[in-house]
């Protein structure tokens, strides 16, 4: 993306253009010289003027007071927008020092940013241990369901795109048992069973029942979400379709390379697009991000969008941001052949879309509220796998997570949505659009990306189902009205952990940027002459 010139540079160039003696010449006042000499003189003066303007702008690009020039001009520099300012604050926030800390509430919630990070600190460790137990790391996913929406380009066969399946012998028999009753058959015994519906009226996603139908058993821990190398038009089409066709007309500007799970080093047209690098000077960070974001292309969410639409958009946007953050946090360095965090990747993918950074916090809050509401159900769920060590760990860890979530208090009020005469119709449209995202994930040409796209979409959909398909009283008593499959419970907790990882990664990248600034200051200090 071409970089914009700073306002100081534009001012210097404009000043040089107006005041240069060469450009102030009036041909009627010049000595009477021959045409050839006059043309030569004009050419020489113009070249000199342009060279002077360029040199002045170059010298003044970092310090506009050099040569006595002022940074103020008739075209004042653009002040950072609220979203860009937030991004700069998050990167600059220092532990324990409260420097440029993001303040206020996460949009459309009752939680502030510091409270969200504090809650994450309490749940991150037990969630990490929880998702490593047999119950939560084992999941059945239909990875080979054909794309029904457009013709795909084929699959990614790179090593890191491939999902390693789990041997069925390692799956508890109770999870695999198919229960067939007479009602599942046609009018005559012996005929083929009726096709089970992909979802019920209460579902916000396509829910594949693990005990029925196609699917591949996988170990989520052995198939982590990270950089795969999957990129290009096919990867970008997935997110473009999600935003443009399912977000109620709220479609942000997308870079050609911002939509995939893979490399951003190569654009979809095959041209190289290297990662940006953050500036060393703190005061340059906000303008740098402003240039990178190009918010004039419609990145941010319009203010007049109904709240239900905003919730939908923030859920999708936050998922997109979380996926990108995981890629950048576990990026494969081809030179060192090591998995390592890539700050340039993070700024390129999230810095260009600062609203997505905020929406990661929103999704963490949304999932927190769903778990609060489901607490009695989650606490009494049967997590038995037959692996004694893991079963005991779950019994110890689940209460820790639920206690921390309960103590967070009111973080989001789901009762405020889908009210009024059109509430029922709006909710039906909301559900159908979110279900369609499940179908779009089937069009991803990378197995591992499809695995995590479908899993996290199901996790968010499970949270929405708990919040908007059932009243609070349904989660008390015997839960007879509830219909949650085992894979929905696994997806919910796994997705909560994925967003916990994303918030941890934000703090990690913040620390990496702080180190860059500190090292730059030290290098500048070492170059000062001794007194």
Active-site positions read: 446, 449
Rounded Cα gap, residues 367 and 463, in angstroms: 6
Q: What would you report as the CA-atom Rg of the chain, rounded to the nearest whole angstrom? A: 28
Rounded Cα gap, residues 381 and 456, in angstroms: 21
End-to-end CA distance of the chain: 44
Closest to 343 measured CA to CA, from 183, 517, 210? 517
* Torsion, Cα of 519, 523, 528, 529 (10° steps): 130
Other beta carbons less than 10 A from residue 55's beta carbon: 13
Q: Return the SS3 of 409.
A: coil
Token digits for 50?
């342009």
Rounded Cα gap, residues 3 and 508, in angstroms: 27
Token digits for 478?
């015997």
Q: Please, which residues have CB within 8 angstroms of residue 114's CB and are 6 or more apart in sequence?
A: 101, 102, 103
**b/e per residue 200-212 (b: at least 16 CB within 10 A):** eebbbbbbbebeb
Whether the CB-CB separation of 494 and 459 falls below 8 Å is answered with: yes
Burial (0-12, 13-18, 19+ Cβ within 10 Å), 334 = exposed
Rounded Cα gap, residues 468 and 426, in angstroms: 12
Per the DSSP assignment, residues forming a β-bridge with 333 are 338
Rounded Cα gap, residues 113 and 364, in angstroms: 11
Got the DSSP string for 303-327? TTS-HHHHHHHHHHHHHHHHHHHHH
Q: Please, which residues have CB within 8 angstroms of residue 313's CB and are 6 or more apart in sequence?
A: 247, 248, 250, 301, 305, 359
């Amino acid at each position: 993306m071409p970089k914009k010139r700073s306002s100081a540079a534009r001012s210097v160039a404009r000043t040089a253009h107006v005041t240069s003696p060469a450009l102030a010449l009036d041909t009627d006042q010049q000595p009477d010289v021959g045409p050839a000499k006059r043309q030569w003189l004009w050419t020489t003066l113009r070249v000199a003027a342009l060279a002077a303007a360029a040199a002045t702008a170059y010298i003044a690009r970092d310090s506009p007071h050099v040569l006595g020039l002022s940074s103020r001009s008739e075209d004042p520099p653009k002040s950072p927008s609220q979203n860009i300012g937030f991004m700069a604050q998050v990167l600059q926030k220092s532990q324990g020092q409260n420097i440029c800390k993001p303040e206020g509430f996460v949009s459309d919630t009752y939680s502030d940013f510091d409270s969200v990070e504090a809650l994450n600190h309490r749940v991150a460790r037990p969630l990490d241990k929880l998702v490593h137990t047999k119950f939560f790391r084992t999941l059945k996913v239909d990875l080979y369901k054909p794309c029904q929406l457009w013709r795909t380009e084929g699959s990614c066969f790179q090593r890191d795109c491939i999902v390693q399946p789990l041997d069925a012998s390692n799956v508890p028999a109770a999870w695999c048992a198919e229960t067939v009753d007479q009602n599942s058959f046609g009018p005559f015994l012996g005929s083929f069973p009726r096709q089970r519906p992909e979802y019920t009226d209460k579902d916000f996603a396509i829910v594949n029942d693990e005990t029925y139908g196609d699917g591949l058993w996988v170990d989520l821990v052995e198939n982590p979400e990270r950089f795969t190398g999957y990129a290009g038009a096919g990867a970008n089409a997935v997110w473009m379709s999600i935003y443009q066709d399912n977000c109620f007309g709220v479609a942000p500007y997308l870079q050609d390379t911002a939509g995939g799970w893979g490399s951003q080093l190569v654009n979809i047209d095959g041209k190289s697009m290297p990662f940006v690098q953050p500036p060393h000077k703190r005061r340059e960070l906000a303008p740098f991000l402003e240039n990178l974001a190009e918010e004039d292309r419609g990145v941010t969410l319009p203010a007049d969008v109904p709240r239900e639409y905003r919730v939908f958009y923030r859920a999708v946007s936050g998922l997109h941001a979380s996926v990108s953050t995981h890629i950048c946090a576990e990026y494969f360095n081809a030179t060192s052949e090591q998995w390592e965090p890539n700050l340039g990747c993070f700024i390129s993918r999230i810095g260009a879309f600062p609203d997505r950074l905020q929406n990661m916090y929103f999704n963490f809050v949304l999932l927190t509220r769903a778990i609060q509401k489901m607490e009695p159900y989650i606490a009494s769920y049967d997590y038995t796998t037959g692996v004694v060590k893991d079963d005991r760990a779950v019994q110890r860890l689940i209460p820790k997570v639920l206690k921390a979530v309960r103590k967070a208090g009111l973080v989001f009020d789901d009762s405020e949505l889908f009210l009024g005469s059109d509430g029922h119709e709006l909710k039906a449209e909301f559900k159908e659009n979110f279900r369609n995202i499940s179908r779009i994930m089937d069009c991803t040409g990378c197995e591992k990306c499809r695995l995590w796209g479908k899993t996290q979409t199901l996790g968010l959909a499970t949270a929405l189902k708990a919040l908007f398909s059932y009243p609070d009283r349904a989660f008390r008593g015997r839960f007879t009205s509830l219909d949650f499959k085992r894979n929905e419970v696994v997806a919910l907790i796994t997705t909560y952990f994925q967003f916990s990882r994303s918030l941890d990664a934000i703090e990690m990248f913040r620390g990496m940027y702080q180190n860059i600034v500190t090292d730059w200051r030290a290098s500048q200090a070492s170059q000062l002459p001794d007194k």
